[in-house]
């Protein structure tokens, strides 16, 4: 099972996300929920799985895991009682830091016309501004406001992710 997951992850790391979503939006559906489901399915076998696997393999050899095995704890108890609580503080900041890339991905899909036409998104606002020639007519705020809000969202989630990493990761704490 481990070898299958590793090979699936390597294949997934070769395939770029944006062209896959463009193909799905062109041939199948432009629904935001279909795109979101595709992103979730693609991110299951993302590159983070390799670092998470290395982290779990390192924790698996810890002395407290060996002690739990010696008193006969079942594997599920070891995983949910010892491994997962040690991994969650390291996984949460990485998930929060990943949010801006998904926001930018949705904005880029909406900008090229593959977003949900019903939902107002920043990418759709940027697309409407570029199609109407807002920059040539002097309506800079049509482009600057959504672009600034996209950057602010990215910086905000990244700052929250770094703060959570500083809180949860004992190696980053100041003495």
Q: Is the pLDDT of residue 23 over 80?
A: yes
What is the pLDDT, as a whole number, of residue 175?
Answer: 52
pLDDT band of 174, cuts 50, 70, 90: low
Average pLDDT of 80-106? 83
Average pLDDT of 100-110? 86
Task: Look up the domain containing 62 and give its range.
Answer: 2-172
What is the pLDDT, as a whole number, of residue 22?
Answer: 84
**Contacts by 163-166, CB closer than 8 A, 24 or more apart:** 164/92, 164/93, 164/96, 165/93, 165/94, 165/97
For the chain, the domain total comes to 1
pLDDT band of 51, cuts 50, 70, 90: confident
Alpha carbon distances (Å) from 15 to 10, 37, 43, 48, 122: 9, 17, 12, 15, 26
Average pLDDT of 15-19? 82
Q: Check: pTM over 0.85? Answer yes or no.
A: no
Q: Are 160 and 92 in contact (CB under 8 A)?
A: no
């Amino acid at each position: 099972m481990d070898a299958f997951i590793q090979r699936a992850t390597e294949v997934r790391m070769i395939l770029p996300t944006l062209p896959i979503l463009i193909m799905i939006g062109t041939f199948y559906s432009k629904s935001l929920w279909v795109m979101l489901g595709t992103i979730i399915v693609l991110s299951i076998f993302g590159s983070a799985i390799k670092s998470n696997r290395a982290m779990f393999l390192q924790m698996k050899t810890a002395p407290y895991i060996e002690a739990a095995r010696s008193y006969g704890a079942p594997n599920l108890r070891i995983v949910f009682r010892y491994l997962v609580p040690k991994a969650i503080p390291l996984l949460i900041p990485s998930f929060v830091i990943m949010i801006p890339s998904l926001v930018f991905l949705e904005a880029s899909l909406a900008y090229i016309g593959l977003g949900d036409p019903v939902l107002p998104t920043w990418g759709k606002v940027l697309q409407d501004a570029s199609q109407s020639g807002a920059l040539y007519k002097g309506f800079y705020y049509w482009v600057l406001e959504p672009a600034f809000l996209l950057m602010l969202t990215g910086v905000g989630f990244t700052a929250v992710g770094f703060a959570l990493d500083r809180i949860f990761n004992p190696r980053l704490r100041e003495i």
